Structure 1
Amino acid sequence: MRPYLLYKAPALVLALCVLLLSACERQSGLKLEGMQGTALWHVTLTDPPADVAPETLQAGLEQAMATSAKRIASWDKDSEISRFNQYQEAGWFPVSAELAELVSMTLQLSKQSNGVYDVTIAPLIKLWGFASHDAAKDVVPSQADIDAVLAKVGYQKLQVRLDPPALRKTQADLQVELASVADGFAADQAGLYLESLGVRQYMVEVAGEVRARGKSPRGDAWRIAIEKPQEEGRAIQQGVHLEDMGLATSGDYRNFFIQGGKRYSHTIDPASGYPVTHNLASVSVLADTAALADGYATVLMALGEIKGKPFAEQHGVSAYFIWRKQDAFETYATPGFAAYF
């Protein structure tokens, strides 16, 4: 199995009430929203704490989002992950427990997928012009440039220690990019902040990635819509009902360029250094946390519909695939995912 990494596309999951206004009109609860970097977030609390003012909740959520970015945003030269990327020594580099746990999760996914998921592919992503906060180049790199960058890639060169939390690299110029799980991680951290206040029923959505706990203000499960992966306009492909889980979607149709009549996706194969080619347009995953759902969605999107479906079934991943077939879409849901339709 060849290794891949997906650099996350713009969000493909929409809160159902964004698209179905009539359903929203029947909801109550407290709704908050904001921006963290370029990511828009929404939070709904079914039973907001009576002793915490909405302004305090807003400020606390903004702080949780900002702290998440300070841990993992590679575009921030002062973030934890950026400082580790700049670190040239062979010893352990101390980090927060949250970052160590997230990197540990990504390395577990790398091993489980035989390298399909690899967060050390940052130099290749940048070379192709898909790096976060970089302007797209729309230029196919030379083979010489690709070969030079490939020597800097490999998740086996990255190590993590949980106690005390630290990261270590076995190659000085190794770079780590966590954009593929950033939105799910932020949603989880915001949810943990709410839970620290005693909030047990809420929905956090960050750039389309969702963490839901308890019941919605209607008294039933949270209703979330998965967007149809079309390049023009926005429409619902499938609705799901969530309780006490995370949902994430990855796709390829809003982050690509065309050169010489050929489409180049942001999904890069670090074995060859070139974008992968398959017909999978998007894949959604349910998991215990939004970050884990984010990671598995990345793995499956990189594998494509043919290899992704047996991987999901073998590893018990609840997933929903949408792939292109001529001028239409075909879909497949694992039994674990279909149970939430």
Structure 2
Amino acid sequence: MGTRYTAIFYGPPGLDRAAIGASLFAAVDQVDRQMSTWNPASDLCRLNAAPAHAWITVPAELAQVLATGLRISLQSDGAFEMGVGELVARWGFGPARRQTPADGLAPPSTPFTPATTALEVDLGRLRVRKHTAVALDLCGIAKGYGVDKLAHCLDGWGLERYLVGIDGEMRARGTKPDGAPWAVALEKPTYGTREVAGVMELEDMAIATSGDYRHWVDVGGTRYGHTINPALGRPLSNGLAAVTVLASTCMLADAWATALMVLGPVEGVALARQRGMNALFVLRDGDGFQETLILAGEPADPS
């Protein structure tokens, strides 16, 4: 997935760390081979290339992620959208790099069709069909699912104290041996530098952050983050610097962080409250930031 994964765990003496390491790699490699847009041989790319109306057999993991993505798209009123692959490519965030920033302002060559309209997932038979041409992109959910696969891998080894992650998406189980929770640093959403803004303590919880400060384009002096707003057909520029979500699985945290980032500082906070979520919104305010923390759907003091 173009990044790195980590796994920190505690267990009894005699653990076969080499075997555990090999199984961890196999877990994330499986996700990469199924869901990457950067690998033309992936199952996702095969689905993207398939003709409309043809049923395509897919692995169980990909079917699960697609079905979850469709559900979150409906629950977020389309803010989370998997059918933005062409827009991602046109703005230069996909495998085919754009040559000039102005190219990103060109409208799509075909009308945008939401995945909820274009896609049908048959979980029982592990098959998918497109009702119309659509380019699927799973960058807003597949990384989180990959973290969950790392967690399930360590569960299979009988390990009960661990912290696993892919880049900034992480999932914790249990505590450290001394009973302390897992401490995860939150980055300050500043361009071009890496600073710690604060710390979240995790226990049996997953965390994911969506932000505008790592990958962006500059068009006419305006920065656009890499997350696509499907309603506008262009990357975000809504004042939000980052949204961090806590959830039971990293797949859910990843997708909802993307959805809330797209919805923005007003509608995003409203939906987080409505759904009883745990989320931190960081809004740009001149040279500084304003934070809004929602815990179990209620406003809280971010300090």
Shorter-chain TM band: over 0.9
SS at match of 1:39: coil
Q: CA deviation at 1:38?
A: 2.2
Is 1:332 aligned with 2:292? yes
> One-letter code of the match for 1:189?
K
> One-letter code of the match for 2:231?
A
Is 1:87 aligned with 2:50? yes
Partner of 1:66: 29
Is 1:210 aligned with 2:170? yes
Q: CA deviation at 1:339?
A: 9.5
Partner of 2:75: 112
Partner of 2:97: 135
Q: CA deviation at 1:227?
A: 0.7
Selected match of 2:211 from 235, 241, 251? 251
Q: CA deviation at 1:153?
A: 4.9
SS at match of 2:141: helix
Partner of 2:181: 221
Counterpart-to-counterpart distance in 2, 1:234 and 1:245 = 24
> Is the 2:207–2:250 contact (alpha carbons within 8 Å) kept by the matching residues of 1?
yes
TM-score by length of 2: 0.92
> Is the 1:257–1:264 contact (alpha carbons within 8 Å) kept by the matching residues of 2?
yes
Change beyond 3 A, Cα 1:340–1:272:
closer
TM-score by length of 1: 0.82
Partner of 2:62: 99
Partner of 2:131: 170
User: After superposition, what is the alpha-carbon deviation per residue over 1:110-167, rounded to whole angstroms, capped at 9, x for unaligned?
Assistant: 1011111110110011011111x44354422377x51423345543111112112221
Partner of 1:199: 159
User: After superposition, what is the alpha-carbon deviation per residue over 1:57-112, rounded to whole angstroms, capped at 9, x for unaligned?
Assistant: 11111111111111111111111111111111513211122111111111011101
Over the residues paired in the alignment, what is the CA RMSD in angstroms? 2.1
Higher relative CO (Cα under 8 Å, sequence separation at least 6) belongs to: 1
The farther-off stretch of 93-102 and 329-338 is: 329-338
Is 1:53 aligned with 2:16? yes
Count of residues paired in the alignment: 301
> Is the 2:211–2:225 contact (alpha carbons within 8 Å) kept by the matching residues of 1?
no
Counterpart-to-counterpart distance in 2, 1:240 and 1:123 = 35
Q: Mind listing any 5+ residue stretches in structure 1 that lack a counterpart? A: 1-36
Q: CA deviation at 1:266?
A: 2.2
Q: CA deviation at 1:311?
A: 0.8
Is 1:155 aligned with 2:119? no
The farther-off stretch of 288-297 and 69-78 is: 69-78
Counterpart-to-counterpart distance in 1, 2:30 and 2:209 = 23
Change beyond 3 A, Cα 1:142–1:339:
closer
SS at match of 2:107: helix
Partner of 1:189: 149
Counterpart-to-counterpart distance in 2, 1:305 and 1:213 = 31
Counterpart-to-counterpart distance in 2, 1:339 and 1:217 = 30
SS at match of 1:203: strand
> Is the 1:123–1:149 contact (alpha carbons within 8 Å) kept by the matching residues of 2?
no
Counterpart-to-counterpart distance in 2, 1:297 and 1:151 = 22
**Percent of matched pairs sharing the same residue:** 33
